[in-house]
Structure 1
Amino acid sequence: MTSQPPPAADDTASGPAPRAPRRGLDRTGPFALGDKVQLADSKNRLHTITLKPGGQFHSHRGVLHHDQLIGAEDGTVVENSHGIRYQALRPLYADYMLAMPRGAAIIYPKDSAQILMWGDIFPGARVLEAGVGSGGLTTALLRAVGPGGSVHSIERREDFAEVARENVGTFFGLEEEALHPRWDLTVGDFQDVAPTLGTAAVDRVVLDMLAPWECVEAAADVLVSGGVFLAYVATVTQLSRTAEALRDHGEFTEPHAWESFVRPWHLEGLAVRPEHRMNAHTGFLLTARRTAHGTEALRRATRPAPGSRDEEELNHPDNEGFGGGSGEWTAQDVGER
């Protein structure tokens, strides 16, 4: 007779166990039933479990009973049946974002942090988000706006919206099918839904979609004067088209764009060096401010201001071959072939 090996890393209970209450990750204090706990061994291998009555965490290295953790302080160290020690901590938001179930690709923590900072997501803000995906950024926005703010998310695909609803509910410890009290989730198209909110109805617009340039007009109408437009795009083509759409609209300030790279470092004694791998390009971020409604934005000067030293030198008669004092360049001047 062949014996079956125990599961490599499973969160199971012996026999049917009572259902644990659903508890959010955004809390502190001793571990309780329903809490998610991240177990790290001496090699920093991570396993996330949900505490259940009579539950057990099985691996090929032994069994850890959930009762050993219930009531223990966050950060405690426990041993399993084979003497293997684990550090037990509640998962951080970044841990949850990277491990949560996905319907669509997520915005990674390094970009979410940039969005909260440069999108200026403040407590009490009214945020309109489009392209909710798996709900990772939505969770960050809800934490940032606080009890006095609100987030309205628009998603074109029902299946993605359902995944986001479940992930947000799990993070905040909501009952199944319940929606966060400061969150509205609409399945539809941004250009159809945004106008129903009214003019100057939101403080921030955050877009994570394939063609954000198509939504500039609708975003301009729904944003308050001085509000922030922010788009997350994956390619240079998307970045360029969105920037040009903002300029063509006329009532947005000059757009700014960037990407971010995060490079971890190895720290062990005197061996302090960059890690061989880094979190490089994931996407571009682009921001612009809404001008006062009906006010044309100032455009960045591309030539020296009249009367400046540069302007005088450019138009000097001695500058033959470079516009001949006219201030204009020709194909021959720049060596065009």
Structure 2
Amino acid sequence: MTEQQPRESHPIRTGDTVRGAANRRGPFRSGERVQLTDESGKMSTITLVDGGEHHTHRGVLSHEQLIGQPEGTVVRNTAGNQYQALRPLLKDFVLSMPRGAAVIYPKDAGQIVTMADVFPGASVVEAGVGSGALSISLLRAVGDEGHVHSFERREEFAEIARGNIETMFGGPHPAWELSLGDLAEELGATEEPGSVDRVVLDMLAPWECLDAVATALAPGGVVICYVATVPQLSRVAEAMRADGRFTEPEASETMVRGWHVEGLAVRPDHRMVAHTGFLIQSRRLADGSPRLAPKRRASKSEYTEDDLQAWTPVALGERIVSDRKLRRTGRDAASLAQHAARADQQIAAGRGTASGAAAAPVDAPDAARSTPPARDTEAGDERHTSGAERGLDD
């Protein structure tokens, strides 16, 4: 009988060399985002600042009660109400972060990362970046050694996404590259033919980019498109088939229904996250290889001029975001990124003190990134469930 050896215990890795890992561990620090849940289950997300206070109609909570405390701490405000404090998970961060364009929701981002097989070290191209929600998931999947190249037409959206990504990772991510412009025009000038592993398109008319995508993708590479309406889904599928360099496309949608579980009272929730968008994916064939399509009965696949008029921004329900709102959201995202950089500086300073070395100074923040007032007001996380309300990121 073989003697069983005792299992060796391993300490928690510090993750000093992995971008954003240290930000997810240890006590709360000034500049961090913290999610507060009260006794009724209502959630609020705040940014900790020295001397700050969280004001609600049910009392005041000092930020000093949380700074330096471990995650999972329960504190009381001046009225005796209890709050549970935790760092926001990725899904919580996405639903509460500043946004200009609507985001790809966590249920769809998880499907994209899995279905497209986004692996550590992969080279991924994304268009458009929107508010940066999907970019964060892609960066986490490829890691520091991968490469995510995001294309965005609108500078306002790009700045909001930059602020949100820097807030999540405590500063610029080494694997992220952002380009302003149209992917169909810029991709060939920035990426070598056959050098890209995965392409994710979240835009109004992804079929316009398929030629550039087919050129950049390596054989076997995956292209996955997120579209909001049935006409878009139909047209991008036919465009993939007509191109001839892709496998037969596969389409799906994801619905998530929560359950109420309390004792013997077990039932589905009354609300659910139903349709938000469709996913359609295909893979790049080797040059010269024919597409093997399943045999099916002939159906109408030609589009008339009247059909083409259905694919316009107004007809598809794209919401117009005002310039004023974009500027305000950009300032909010930049301010949160500044606070996250301050928290990251504290982590670096702690490591430098432990090793006897001085921490590297952080560049002075840009004048546009102003520090918000120390007092914050109650604001619950956004929880949108209607796919019809979602605008198209482009």
TM range (shorter): 0.7 to 0.9
Tell me if the contact between 1:24 and 1:171 (Cα under 8 Å) persists in the aligned partners.
no
What residue is the counterpart of 1:313 in the other structure? none
Decide which structure has the larger Cα Rg and report it. 1
CA distance in 1: counterparts of 2:47 and 2:247, whole angstroms: 48
Does 2:181 correspond to 1:184?
A: no
Does 2:159 correspond to 1:162?
A: yes
- Amino acid of the residue matched to residue 223 of structure 2? F
What residue is the counterpart of 2:61 in the other structure? 64
What residue is the counterpart of 2:187 in the other structure? 194
- Amino acid of the residue matched to residue 240 of structure 1? S
Inter-CA distance 58–157: structure 2 relative to 1 (3 Å threshold): same
- Amino acid of the residue matched to residue 297 of structure 1? R
Tell me if the contact between 1:134 and 1:163 (Cα under 8 Å) persists in the aligned partners.
yes
**Structure 1 position 24, deviation (Å):** 8.5
Secondary structure, aligned partner of 1:38: strand
Q: Give unmatched runs, 5+ long, in structure 2.
A: 1-19, 298-394
Deviation string 1:147-196 (CA, Å, 9 cap, x unpaired) is: 1101000011111111111111111111xxxx422111111001111111
Secondary structure, aligned partner of 1:214: helix
Deviation string 1:73-127 (CA, Å, 9 cap, x unpaired) is: 1011111111111100001110110111111111111100100110111111100
- Superposition CA RMSD, Å: 1.4
> What is the TM-score with the length of structure 2 in the denominator?
0.68
What residue is the counterpart of 1:277 in the other structure? 271
**Structure 1 position 295, deviation (Å):** 2.0
Residue from 74, 77, 83 that aligns with 1:77: 74
CA distance in 2: counterparts of 1:100 and 1:294, whole angstroms: 46
- Amino acid of the residue matched to residue 127 of structure 1? V
CA distance in 2: counterparts of 1:54 and 1:302, whole angstroms: 68
Tell me if the contact between 2:144 and 2:174 (Cα under 8 Å) persists in the aligned partners.
no
What residue is the counterpart of 2:282 in the other structure? 288
Secondary structure, aligned partner of 1:151: strand
Inter-CA distance 63–24: structure 2 relative to 1 (3 Å threshold): farther
CA distance in 1: counterparts of 2:34 and 2:269, whole angstroms: 27
| Higher-helix-fraction structure | 2
> What is the TM-score with the length of structure 1 in the denominator?
0.80
| Higher-strand-fraction structure | 1
Inter-CA distance 24–161: structure 2 relative to 1 (3 Å threshold): farther
Deviation string 1:44-80 (CA, Å, 9 cap, x unpaired) is: 1111111111211121222211111111110111111
Deviation string 1:213-240 (CA, Å, 9 cap, x unpaired) is: 1111110000000000100001111111
For 1:147-296, what aligned pairs fall within 5 Å after superposition? 147-174=144-171, 179-196=172-189, 197-296=191-290
- Amino acid of the residue matched to residue 51 of structure 1? L
Secondary structure, aligned partner of 1:74: coil
Residue from 294, 305, 320 that aligns with 1:300: 294
Secondary structure, aligned partner of 1:266: strand
For 1:35-50, what aligned pairs fall within 5 Å after superposition? 35-50=32-47
User: In terms of mean alpha carbon deviation, does 28-37 or 126-135 score higher?
Assistant: 28-37
- Amino acid of the residue matched to residue 241 of structure 1? R
What residue is the counterpart of 1:309 in the other structure? none
Tell me if the contact between 2:45 and 2:96 (Cα under 8 Å) persists in the aligned partners.
no
- Amino acid of the residue matched to residue 171 of structure 1? M
- Amino acid of the residue matched to residue 260 of structure 1? T
Tell me if the contact between 1:152 and 1:185 (Cα under 8 Å) persists in the aligned partners.
yes
Tell me if the contact between 1:25 and 1:171 (Cα under 8 Å) persists in the aligned partners.
no
Structure number with greater CO (CA < 8 Å, separation at least 6) is 2
**Structure 1 position 26, deviation (Å):** 5.0
**Structure 1 position 293, deviation (Å):** 2.4
Q: Give unmatched runs, 5+ long, in structure 1.
A: 1-22, 304-337
- Amino acid of the residue matched to residue 236 of structure 1? V
Tell me if the contact between 2:51 and 2:63 (Cα under 8 Å) persists in the aligned partners.
yes
CA distance in 2: counterparts of 1:106 and 1:301, whole angstroms: 37
Inter-CA distance 170–258: structure 2 relative to 1 (3 Å threshold): same
Does 2:108 correspond to 1:137?
A: no
Secondary structure, aligned partner of 1:47: strand
Inter-CA distance 45–24: structure 2 relative to 1 (3 Å threshold): farther
Tell me if the contact between 1:24 and 1:35 (Cα under 8 Å) persists in the aligned partners.
no
Tell me if the contact between 1:204 and 1:229 (Cα under 8 Å) persists in the aligned partners.
yes
Secondary structure, aligned partner of 2:30: coil
Secondary structure, aligned partner of 1:159: helix
Secondary structure, aligned partner of 2:224: strand
Number of paired residues?
A: 277
